[in-house]
Amino acid sequence: MSDLASAAVPGRALSDGTGARAALRRAAPALAVYAAIRLLGLTVLAAWSAADGKSWHTLLTARWDSLWYTRVAEQGYGYAVQLPSGDIHSNLAFFPLLPWLERGLSAALPVSPADAGMAVAWLSSLAAAGALYLTGERLHGPRAGALLAALWAALPVGIVQSMAYSESLFTALAACGVYAVLTGRWVWAGVLSSLAGLTRPVGAAVVAAVWITAAVTLWRERTDGAGLRVALRRHPGLLSGVLLAPLGWCGFFLWVGARQGSFTGYLDVQGGWGNGFDGGLAFGTFIWQQLSGPALPAGLALLAGVGLVLWLYGHGVRRGQPLPLVVYGGVVLLLALTAKGYFGSKPRLMMPAYPLLLPVATALARCRPVRAWWVVGLVAAGSAIYGAFWLNGSGPP
């Protein structure tokens, strides 16, 4: 528990001599397991799609949000569709980092923007798995780190990690950013937070993790009798990280506002899509309708799922999960559960909340290795089957 306590609020940057190469060597087995689970998901998807007369490649690169990201990469912002109801779907709702990468890769390599988006997702998901391994390893040891990466790969909606969507890119940047906070690398934390803020609206969760952890760090230094200047010297780069962290998120939010002629321009764009935040009222109403109608079993399952993620979050807090993880995971969960719109997207919106999986990973790490990996294998097989079924059916957005 002493290691957990010291990790709750980071101190100075680690100077143990372990560089990126050493970290990659330690993470290599976890990355191999992650890649194997995702390969299983892709294999099942390809077989299911072929039997259903569909293309697995099209399902991963050219449906739903993937088409919007590709259009931004090819034509820039300004495209909108007006629905018969009068609602306007504008591509200003989509943050720019993934389309920028799609455009850059397709210009440098003989690939289409859509295929570039899928390549970014595949590489980013590996980077995310590596960051998850290092986080779990730091807090609970190598087995917990490997199991955390494997469990994230085996999520029921894990197939999204292989799609030309922004979830993998965001999770990679967010997990690396939160790990940078854990290890006291404040400038890196600020840079990665800013990039995450250019990827998805939930980038605000990474900003919150940086800011709140920095504030608590300085407050604890102050209670120990250190002045502000002394505290900042003890934590080099902290102020720079705090200033850098919100630049991406705020920059895009303000740019859309200026383009729309309103400070709330981005929120207005999201409103055109039927999205926004109402404190969970719409989602609660949806659950109640399921419980009070013929879809009672589905409503009970949905209620149980919400209860499970809330319990996992609370369990992590009670077990002393480090502050950056508590803040980041809590904000991701809050934004996902209080958003209105298409409720089928909520599992996908919660996918970046990897701290929720830490209690499960640590529990499995205490089991015998054979038993733990049998559990992971069964979950991965279920995820592969569900992912293929889901993507050939209703699927995202």
How many distinct structural domains can be found in the chain? 1
Residue keyed to tokens 């290599």: 28
Of 343, 316, 360, 359, residue with least CA distance to 397: 343
Mean of pLDDT over the chain:
93
Q: Would 107 be classed as within a structural domain?
A: yes
Q: Would 92 be classed as within a structural domain?
A: yes
Q: How far apart are CA 96 and CA 76, in angstroms?
A: 9
Residue keyed to tokens 């990468």: 101
Q: How far apart are CA 227 and CA 385, in angstroms?
A: 57
Q: Would 397 be classed as within a structural domain?
A: no
Name residues of the chain where pLDDT drops below 70: 1-18
pLDDT of residue 16: 44
Q: How far apart are CA 101 and CA 113, in angstroms?
A: 9
* Segments in the chain forming alpha helices (H): 2-8, 20-51, 56-61, 65-75, 97-108, 113-140, 142-153, 167-182, 186-197, 204-223, 228-234, 238-244, 247-260, 265-272, 281-291, 296-318, 323-338, 346-350, 358-365, 369-392
Q: Would 62 be classed as within a structural domain?
A: yes
Contact 153, 21 (CB under 8 A): no
**How many other β-carbons are positioned within 10 Å of the β-carbon of residue 344?**
13
Task: Tell me if residue 297 falls in helix, strand or coil.
Answer: helix
Q: Would 49 be classed as within a structural domain?
A: yes
Q: Would 65 be classed as within a structural domain?
A: yes
Of 4, 12, 2, residue with least CA distance to 221: 12
Q: How far apart are CA 105 and CA 115, in angstroms?
A: 9
DSSP 121-150: HHHHHHHHHHHHHHHHHHHH-HHHHHHHHH
pLDDT of residue 397: 77
Domain range for residue 243? Answer: 2-392
Q: How far apart are CA 355 and CA 321, in angstroms?
A: 9
- Tens digit of each residue's pLDDT (9 = 90 or more) over 139-150: 999 999 999 999
